[in-house]
Structure 1
Amino acid sequence: MKATGSTSSFAVRSNEIDYRGQATLPSLVSYMHEAAWDNTFTLGISMYDLLKHDMTWVLQRMRVEMFRYPEHSQKITVATWASGRERIFMHRDFRIYSTNQELLGQATSVWLVMDMVKRQLVSLPDFITALEVAPTEEPLPFAKGKLPQLQEAAYEEQIPVRWHDIDLNRHVTNTRYIQWALDTFPTELLEQKQLREIDIVYRAEAVLGDTVVSAVAPADEENVYLHKLSSQETGKELVQAKSVWRELEI
């Protein structure tokens, strides 16, 4: 049985921080994706390995919890491991550590395989299911259940999909949706609160030339907000999310 975990190290760069000097959540999720890429490359199941078969990985759901945000130039380590597998799903977990092993944040995610020609989801291919998943750490609880539906937007933005929003799969990269969801908040909220947790479900892809409508509204619970990103052209829901915030001490 082959261990499926590994670690990758990063230093927070100046173009990845907010006005407080702390790493933004999209930047931290990018680190997680990079660590996952390194890990899957070692295991022989990377996106490049799938592309040889006209297939690719797509993210279906991700829940991120942040306990403390690293600051500019701070070095961090991202541990990641394949934590489980089902017929069409691969589960992957992440933990972010400081240099003194403080747990800064953690995430759980669900991945699927897409046929690049048909643009349809397919079962995990044999060379992936043949991999014995031996988690190097205790799996985090899966993000399960449906998220509450946003009924009426309190804030809304229309965002055209441009060239630099597109990734190797020729659709909007998943961190961009997180950025768009957060950018829809008014500045006053972003200045007074800090994101503690986000649970995001990816339902459909947007491509170059589309316009994405990002909507957000408060949920019934305090400091909890619901998000919906949809296609302006078709009305199709692209992304659904729930974010949880903490009040900042002034």
Structure 2
Amino acid sequence: MPISPNFTSILEQEYEINFLQCYPNGLLKYTDLCNIFQITAGIHADLGGISFSDMQEHHQAWVMSKMRLEIINLPKWKEKVTVKTWIKSLENSRSTRCLELYHGNEKLAGCETYWVAMNTQTRRPENLALQHEHFTKFPEHNATEKEVQKINLNIDFKAMNNYKVQLSDIDIVNHANNVKYLEWCLNTIDPKMILRQKIKGFEMNFLKELNLNDDVVISNCETTYTIAKEDKICFALDLIL
């Protein structure tokens, strides 16, 4: 797909929060906030000619490796919000993308994401085959107070739940979508923590792919959660409280 005449290096995309995206308290679900960010990143890639379809011509796709989300407030049902996104860095097979959520002029959340260009046949990282020089990079423009971090896994975890990956978890890259990992972990947490907005953000590390019918174990130690397949950790989550 050619570069859109509407392409800009910083994209602003508007949304209206609908009832399907909200918790019983009328606030946007954490998972749907991540979905909105993921969709906006995809729209920006489409406009800039580095979309999933463009990359598939070279048997490539973007997969998320790390994500840090810092939340000030969650928007409510029917509120109109704006997501801003830009590329902080893009070199070889790696890219860092930033996103911010606004209600009017009020910043509600910031997010930094770290992506890898993966060959969808070999399932291995490789240098991006598409041109991206038309994207201005903003290395000094941060959306979060801290950059994406590596989560410490050298602690004792306790198994909490077993899960089998369902078809509804699988996305167009033919693996479990990154937001699903967060959803599985949040489903093990006391609902009061979520409904009373005790969680102020998330640090997430995506370590290995999960596929349809994979059996996984969700474990926990204080604010850190893991998802493991055959004793190998595929995902780590650290709550920011």
TM over 0.5: yes
In the other structure, the counterpart of 1:221 is none
What stretches of structure 2 of length at least 5 have no aligned partner? Answer: 1-6
User: How far apart are the structure 1 equivalents of 2:184 and 2:98?
Assistant: 24
Q: CA deviation at 1:189?
A: 4.0
Q: 2:224 aligned with 1:243, yes or no?
A: no
1:169-196 CA-to-partner distances (Å, cap 9, x unmatched) read: 0100111111112112234544555210
Matched, 1:56 2:61: yes
* Unaligned 5+ runs, structure 1: 219-224, 246-250
- Give the one of 11, 18, 29 matched to 1:13: 18
d(CA) in 2 for partners of 1:137, 1:41: 24
**2:204 corresponds to:** 200
Cα offset for 1:82? Answer: 0.8
Partner of residue 119 from structure 1, selected from 99, 114, 123: 123
Relative distance call for 1:43 and 1:71 in structure 2 (3 A) is same
Shift of 1:215: 1.4
Mark the CA change 1:131 to 1:112 in structure 2 (over 3 Å): closer, same or farther. farther
> Match of 1:102?
106
**2:189 is aligned with 1:171:** no
Please give the TM-score of this superposition, normalised by the length of structure 1.
0.86
TM-score by length of 2: 0.89
Give CA-to-partner distance per residue, 1:84-105, whole Å, 9 cap, x none. 123321110000000x211000
Give the SS at the match of 1:38: helix
Runs of 4+, deviation exceeding 4 Å: none
Q: State the distance in 2 between where 1:203 and 1:136 align.
A: 25
Q: How far apart, CA to CA, are the structure 2 residues paired with 1:198 and 1:145?
A: 11
Backbone CA RMSD of aligned residues: 2.1
Partner residue, 1:135: 138
* Alignment CA distance shift 1:37-1:191 (3 Å): closer
Aligned 8 A contact 2:90 2:137 in 1: no
Q: Deviation of residue 152 (structure 1)?
A: 2.9
User: In the alignment, does 2:43 pair up with 1:38?
Assistant: yes
Give the 3-state SS of the residue equivalent to 2:131 in structure 1. helix
Q: Secondary structure at the match of 2:46?
A: helix
What is the aligned residue count? 234
Q: Any idea what the Cα deviations from partners look like across 1:101-121, whole Å, max 9, x if unmatched?
A: 110001011111111111111
